[in-house]
Structure 1
Amino acid sequence: MATDFYDALGVARSASADEIQRAYRKLARQLHPDVNPEPGAEERFKEISEAYQVLSDPDQRKKYDRFGADFRRVPDDFDERAYAGAGGRVRRTQAGPGFGGGFEGFEGVDIEDLLGGFFRGRGAGGPVAGADQEAELELTVEEAYRGGRRHLSIGGERGYDVDIPAGVVDGQRIRLAGQGGRASGNAAPGDLYLVVRIKPHPRYRLSGRDITVDLPVSPWEAALGATVPVLTPGGEVKVRVAAGSSTGRRLRLRGEGLPNPKGKPGDLYAEVRVLVPKKLGKRERELFEELAAVSDFDPRRS
């Protein structure tokens, strides 16, 4: 982690939870790979997602504020007061505005010395808790919609059977308890967090839990109205295209977006795209020529 999480989101260290959330949502709309193809946008999106995951969790944010870039290496039961009292070598100080490079809130000791002394304080060869780890889990839109079970291999060494809940979103973390770094002695192993990354899709465009899909229609369907099929991640459904629809009109299908196990599901938007035949048969050409002769419709003035 080379970037300070507060800097990544563009907020002050004193920012409230609401301010952090608003900053993340604003940046996510600008940087999401589905809407921003510029080089570097995807990496920035991953960066702000990691920052938000940490700063939106009160416990993780507290550890990050105290220990900076090394916060993941600090066990949950670490007691700085007990450590300082044992040796008297650590003195708590006020972190300055340039925070972000490790244990800036302590004087007179570096991270290796501090953690090493803490572990040794439990006795040579004593139990040491395992570290939490992260890995990316790449899913298709259909997999994110349905959920299911996936066998995942990390580093070619360890394999996991992962239960994926239906309706996961990009950036969401799935916790595999006890599957992180190994511990020593009788201490607990760390946890493995799988960060969901939803791959770009040739048909579906995601915005949070909402899905947008193009809906091709013929000129006569658009002009006269029609009931047409649209393919969603949950299967085919029928939608009514109103008479007089033009390209760009959006038809909303409530609840047909990504599921939400904790609340309201997303919506699916079918966006009308009027297509014309590339080649016309003789009779088709005659009918179009007849329409052109009798119609006073001018799309450039409508």
Structure 2
Amino acid sequence: MAGTDFYGILGVDRSADQTEIQRAYRKLARKYHPDINKDPDAEDRFKEISEAYDVLSEPETRRRYDTFGADFRQVPPDVDAETWARAKAARESPFGGSRFDTGSFDTGDVDIEDLLGGIFGGRARRRGPMPGADQEAELELTVEEAHAGGRRTLTLPGPRTIEVTIPAGVTDGRRIRLAGQGGRGTDGAPPGDLYLLVHLAPHPRYRVDGRDLALDLPLTPWEAALGTTVTLPIPGGEAKLKVPPGTSTGRRLRLRGKGLPNPRGTAGDLYAEARVLVPAKPTDEERQLFEQLAAVSTFDPRGSGR
């Protein structure tokens, strides 16, 4: 975490609003998603982008990051910014050691040694209760599970078993916070939080881009030429899709709002990408019909009239 600049990772100013942050995240997520970008470093870059968005998209987490910087998760919740700044200055002083002369500034009722031990885990002697550390684990979901949400039982080191509520529409790279399920505190102090990093498993049908889904739509030549209505499988059911006449391979047809749901806004879309297929072994009658079509058609897919 040391030196991490979440604003720099997303390429936004520190004054950026939530719309700018979301726009920057979506642009970068599309570029570096491991399912799209096969560069060996893309996955690590995508995780950095997701971490930055997770912190900056939550107002309270962003406020703590702006206040405490890279140490924002280690600073106890009841420590104010001024006290933390004084403690950090004392810790980084060339005269620092296991004891500090606090006569040069007012520390109020705060024990600098306890505060420094809690924040830095360094040379200061720890005394009294210490909150538990935050922890992180990966949670792999199918597209259907991400779409519907629900409950999942997880077995964690210890071992211990917990029940997790998965919000409907959770996206790849997002974090689910489980308050109080992290490391244990000492001397009665509260435990830390557990953060579940969501990873969507590769799907045999769907390709995922943020909240949008895409799938291949096989069509016969006559369906593509004349138009038709097909039934598509979508997460949680089926949907009707009208294929316009003259559809060629590669055309993307959109079903608005049929992607992953969004509890806070607009759901993603589902895109069906046309793939025109011909019979591998046409029957004699099919061959005759294709020959008749070839004889009367003036269509030239390689000509200027394309």
Deviations for 1:262-288, whole angstroms, at most 9, x for unmatched residues?
A: 222222111211111111112211111
User: Matches of 1:291 and 1:163 in 2, distance apart?
Assistant: 57
Match of 2:199 among 197, 200, 204: 197
Compared CA separation, residues 50 and 233, structure 1 to 2 (3 A) = same
Q: Find the residue that maps to 1:202 and give its secondary structure.
A: coil
User: Matches of 2:302 and 2:2 in 1, distance apart?
Assistant: 53
Q: What is the letter of the counterpart of residue 150 of structure 1?
A: R
Q: What is the letter of the counterpart of residue 27 of structure 1?
A: L
In 2, are the aligned partners of 1:181 and 1:189 still within 8 Å (CA)? yes
Match of 2:209 among 202, 207, 210: 207
User: Matches of 1:163 and 1:66 in 2, distance apart?
Assistant: 30
Q: Find the residue that maps to 2:72 and give its secondary structure.
A: helix
Partner of 1:216: 218
Q: What is the letter of the counterpart of residue 30 of structure 1?
A: K
Compared CA separation, residues 232 and 115, structure 1 to 2 (3 A) = farther
Match of 1:107 among 63, 88, 93: 93
User: Matches of 1:247 and 1:124 in 2, distance apart?
Assistant: 67
The count of corresponding residues between Structure 1 and Structure 2 is 284
User: Matches of 1:231 and 1:262 in 2, distance apart?
Assistant: 25
Q: CA RMSD in A?
A: 3.1
User: Matches of 2:70 and 2:249 in 1, distance apart?
Assistant: 50
Q: What is the letter of the counterpart of residue 28 of structure 1?
A: A
What is the CA-CA distance between 1:190 and the residue it aligns to? 1.3
Deviations for 1:116-146, whole angstroms, at most 9, x for unmatched residues?
A: 532779x976222112222221111111011
Q: What is the letter of the counterpart of residue 93 of structure 2?
A: E
User: Matches of 1:212 and 1:62 in 2, distance apart?
Assistant: 36
Partner of 1:118: 115
Match of 2:155 among 153, 169, 186: 153
**Which residues of 2 match residues 178-193 of structure 1 at below 5 A?**
178-193=180-195
User: Matches of 1:115 and 1:280 in 2, distance apart?
Assistant: 84
Runs of 4+ in 1 over 6 A off after TM superposition: none
Compared CA separation, residues 153 and 280, structure 1 to 2 (3 A) = same
User: Matches of 1:90 and 1:40 in 2, distance apart?
Assistant: 34
> Given the alignment of the two structures, is residue 4 of structure 1 paired with residue 13 of structure 2, yes or no?
no
Unaligned runs of 5+ in 1: 93-102
Percentage identity across aligned positions?
A: 60
Q: Find the residue that maps to 1:72 and give its secondary structure.
A: coil
Q: What is the letter of the counterpart of residue 253 of structure 1?
A: L
What is the CA-CA distance between 1:250 and the residue it aligns to? 2.1
Unaligned runs of 5+ in 2: 101-110, 119-124
In 2, are the aligned partners of 1:119 and 1:128 still within 8 Å (CA)? no
Compared CA separation, residues 116 and 182, structure 1 to 2 (3 A) = farther
In 1, are the aligned partners of 2:29 and 2:210 still within 8 Å (CA)? no
Deviations for 1:212-248, whole angstroms, at most 9, x for unmatched residues?
A: 1111110111112222221111222222212221112
User: Matches of 2:32 and 2:85 in 1, distance apart?
Assistant: 43
Q: What is the letter of the counterpart of residue 34 of structure 2?
A: P
Partner of 1:291: 293
Q: Find the residue that maps to 1:272 and give its secondary structure.
A: strand
Superposition TM-score, scaled by structure 1 size: 0.81
What is the CA-CA distance between 1:292 and the residue it aligns to? 0.9
In 1, are the aligned partners of 2:211 and 2:267 still within 8 Å (CA)? yes
Partner of 1:51: 52
Q: Find the residue that maps to 1:73 and give its secondary structure.
A: coil
Superposition TM-score, scaled by structure 2 size: 0.80
**Which residues of 2 match residues 1-302 of structure 1 at below 5 A?**
1=1, 4-6=4-6, 7-11=8-12, 14-17=14-17, 20-65=21-66, 67-79=68-80, 81-82=82-83, 91=89, 106-108=92-94, 109=96, 117-118=114-115, 126-155=128-157, 157-301=159-303, 302=306
What is the CA-CA distance between 1:50 and the residue it aligns to? 0.7
